[in-house]
Amino acid sequence: MTVESRVVRPADYYSGPSPARVLPPWVSFGCGGASVLILVIVFAGGAYLAHGGFTDLMDLVFGMTMGDLHGMYTKDVTAAEKKSLDDEIETLRANLRGEKITVRSLQPLLKDIAKVSRDKKVDAREVEQLLGEAKKVNARAKKP
């Protein structure tokens, strides 16, 4: 009785028949095309944000945020306080669009907005806090 030892080489594996396809052949082109499209969108978005688009995005954020804050005011916030905050934020947005203030200078105001809106209620004290921070940011605006 002879024992035949067979050594399996990599070439033996690859020279065998191919397994049956699990997916249709067009799937690889569809996935590759989708990944290329996503990469193009990401790079185009980055280029847009790097060349002034981030300022536009922050302007949009402040517009939407103020709309949200209007629904959170408590009854102790007077119409004059609401108008004062709205006017100061509009000035801030105009300064932002005119590149008189930097996006970096908005960080303290954004943190305050997040803090006061966390409980979904904005009282008169919190409106004064936001107003004071917005005035600080606008005071740092470049003069023409």
Rounded Cα distance between 6 and 112, Å, is 74
In a domain, 58, yes or no: yes
Give me the pLDDT at residue 127, please.
Answer: 92
Number of domains in the chain: 1
Is residue 100 a part of any domain in this protein?
yes
Q: Is residue 131 part of a domain?
A: yes
Residue 9 has a pLDDT of 78
Residue 22 lies in a domain: no
If DSSP codes are grouped into helix, strand and coil, which group holds residue 144? coil
Per-residue model confidence as pLDDT tens digits over 63-89? 899 889 888 998 999 999 999 999 999
Q: Looking at residue 1, what is its pLDDT?
A: 58
Residue 122's SS3 state is strand
- pLDDT tens across 18-50, in order? 778 888 877 777 888 889 999 999 999 999 988
Q: Which range marks the domain in which residue 88 is found? A: 53-139
Give domain status of residue 86, yes or no.
yes
- What average pLDDT does the structure give for the chain? 87
Q: Is 140 within 8 Å of 104 (Cβ atoms)? A: no
pLDDT value at 128 more than 70: yes
Is 59 within a domain?
yes
Amino acid at 118: R
